[in-house]
Structure 1
Amino acid sequence: MRNLIIALSVFLGSFLWAQEKAKSIFDIARSGTVSEVKELMKQNPDIINQTNENGFSPLILACYRGNVEVAEFLIDHVKNVNYKSKEGTALAGLSVKYNKKLVEDLLKKNADPNIADDTGSTPLFWAVKFGNKELIELLLKYKADKSIKDSMGMTPFEYALQTHKEEIINILKK
């Protein structure tokens, strides 16, 4: 009986240790590698389209966390680059944690720059609030709508006026 208890303890201990070591697709999206994503996809090809308990997709997490290689892979393989959590899309995440290449990749894959988060803010709002002139120009090139109003009833231009940044104000005046 004692040997059975010891064997069972060893088995359960190694099982729990293995469970702790196994990374989820969301862990990998944040800080893993493309090969880890591919390995999980062998077991479940649709795993990259799942969402976590907070409603975030692996693509949103990879973009926001700056995991460029994984984000690039996901941009090419997810079903919907426009998936929206309550915080917005992957493009919105990149409006906060800017990476020009990833923004361009998403926009070339038809990411919609006019999808608003739960506050009514589109990526253009965030680009204006963060004073990111390059991103503002890029979003406008891909038809970001300057006339959208957020939940406060304000447009990106009105936020630009609050920043007192003439370059940004002038871009949005056009």
Structure 2
Amino acid sequence: LNYACEKGDINIVELLLKNNADINNKDIKGKSPLITSCDYGYKDIVELLLANKTININDIDSTGRSSLIYACIRGNIDIVKLLIKYGINVFIEDKYGNNAFYYATEKGNYDILKLLLQSG
């Protein structure tokens, strides 16, 4: 599932989910399929994963980064909107003590920062 999310293959992701693939399984870097999809910017896959009731939306990788932090780093406002809609914790900090607000500001993504401020 992680590999299909990395490659952006929504058809394989759907097939694997229908066959009970572990939606919260982590790769060697500690990334879940949701984190990977947010990192690569695959909005349709993110939406598909979020619709699954067993997903851990607040999961973090080995650096402590959440899917929201990756979406903020990449400047993907559509994915940020989805994650907020599904109730992600906007205050999760990585192992450096930085959160989504920090990364949105650092990258100059002020529209994302505004969304975060409105949701938090």
- Alignment-derived partner of residue 48 in structure 2: 105
Q: 2:6 aligns with which of 64, 71, 90?
A: 64
Find the aligned partners of 2:68 and 2:23 in 1 and give their Cα distance.
17
Find the aligned partners of 1:97 and 1:164 in 2 and give their Cα distance.
19
How big is each residue's C-alpha offset from its partner over 1:30-86, in whole Å with a ceiling of 9 and x where there is no partner?
xxxxxxxxxxxxxxxxxxxxxxxxxxxxx0000111222111111222242111233
Moved more, 144-153 or 91-100: 91-100
Is residue 41–residue 74 contact of structure 2 (8 Å, CA) maintained in 1? no
Q: Counting helix residues as a fraction of each chain, which structure ranks higher?
A: 1
- Alignment-derived partner of residue 114 in structure 2: 170
Supply the AA of the counterpart residue of 1:109. Answer: N
What pairs with 1:16-55 in structure 2 (closer than 5 Å)? none
1:73 aligns with 2:22: no
Find the aligned partners of 2:19 and 2:46 in 1 and give their Cα distance.
16
- Alignment-derived partner of residue 32 in structure 1: none
How big is each residue's C-alpha offset from its partner over 1:127-157, in whole Å with a ceiling of 9 and x where there is no partner?
0000000000101111111111100001110
Find the aligned partners of 1:137 and 1:166 in 2 and give their Cα distance.
14
Q: Secondary structure at the match of 2:4?
A: helix
Unaligned segments of structure 2, at least 5 residues: none
Find the aligned partners of 1:79 and 1:72 in 2 and give their Cα distance.
10
- Alignment-derived partner of residue 128 in structure 1: 72
Find the aligned partners of 1:92 and 1:72 in 2 and give their Cα distance.
17
Find the aligned partners of 1:154 and 1:100 in 2 and give their Cα distance.
24
Unaligned segments of structure 1, at least 5 residues: 1-58
Q: Secondary structure at the match of 1:114?
A: coil
Is residue 75–residue 105 contact of structure 1 (8 Å, CA) maintained in 2? no
Identity %: 30
Q: 1:90 aligns with which of 14, 33, 41?
A: 33
Supply the AA of the counterpart residue of 1:113. Answer: I
- Alignment-derived partner of residue 7 in structure 1: none
Supply the AA of the counterpart residue of 1:153. Answer: G
Q: Which has the higher relative contact order, 1 or 2, with Cα contacts under 8 A spaced 6 or more apart?
A: 2
